[in-house]
Structure 1
Amino acid sequence: MTSVIEQCQPEPTAIAGIAHATWAGEAHGLAQLSVWRQSLAPGAGTPPHLHDCDEAVICLGGEGELHTEGRQQRFGARSILVLPRGRVHQIFNIGTEPLEVLGMFGQSPVPTRRPDGEPLPLPWRS
């Protein structure tokens, strides 16, 4: 099904400091692509996790830090984070303003797991 979808604002989730909106995914008929819009409050971070698909994250605004493979890399607006499948990672807001990101995934729904391989329940999934 082809469709035009209104872009909703991210809403607070059960993960402290993270607001989320799924802009496109399985509910829209997609199987090989998901698009998430997220806002991380100052000091907030994602839990350590990995995906069974490739991920690209575009930073729309704010200052962040990516923790992966024993490294910490700072990033800001106009940066893109390239996260191949199976890589444990965390994203943190290290600035004083919200960190605004757009994540694109090569699968829908997005398979998300803890570093030990156990599924990571995401609060925006019903």
Structure 2
Amino acid sequence: MHQSNYGIGGFSHITVAGALAHGMKEVEVWLQTISAGQRTPIHRHSCEEVFVVLKGRGTLLLGSTSLPYPGTPQEIPVFQNSTFTVPINYPHQVWNSDEHEDLQVLVIISRPPVKIFLYEDWSMPHTAAKLKFPFVWDEDCLDAPKDEL
């Protein structure tokens, strides 16, 4: 299994079982580690997501879908041996709010491969979020475009 930070500081990702790399059809499984004080980008996707916290503690920041933008996020504490979910299309961010220990999570998503919409901040309109597909950890799995000449 390939492990990388994919250019995201304080972050490590391994696709344990994936659509593009392993032929999974309904779910994908990731192992992610977030360094102390670091955060994932603010994002949303049209799949369900389940997190199992293997190590550490942190905060799930969960935005609104009822406003034209995510708004002030709800802060939900997460900790070792806890499980939490993110509903379809909810803007969210996982923050390792611990100052000393890594946060390590096992992540299960539905409908792979994931199509992620990125937000610059919590006030960015949903319609302005930028689609990133394939996401960085799927880029190596897609066939390179063929030159027809």
Q: Match for residue 34 of structure 2?
A: 40
Superposed counterparts of 1:29-108, under 5 Å:
29-69=23-63, 70-95=73-98, 96-108=100-112
Q: Give the C-alpha shift of residue 9 in structure 1.
A: 7.0
Structure 1: stretches of 5+ with no match in the other structure: 1-7
TM-score (norm 2): 0.74
Identity fraction in percent: 29
* Larger-gyration structure (1/2): 2
Query: 42-51 or 112-121: which moved more?
Result: 112-121
Distance 1:59 1:10, change over 3 A: farther
Moved over 6 A (4+): none
CA RMSD of aligned residues (A): 1.5
Measure, in 2, the Cα distance between the counterparts of 1:9 and 1:65.
27
Aligned equivalent of 2:6, options 6, 13, 22: 13
2:5 corresponds to which letter in structure 1? P
Measure, in 2, the Cα distance between the counterparts of 1:79 and 1:9.
26
Q: Match for residue 68 of structure 2?
A: none
Q: Match for residue 122 of structure 2?
A: none
Q: Match for residue 111 of structure 1?
A: 115
Q: Which has the higher helix share?
A: 2
Q: Give the C-alpha shift of residue 120 in structure 1.
A: 2.9
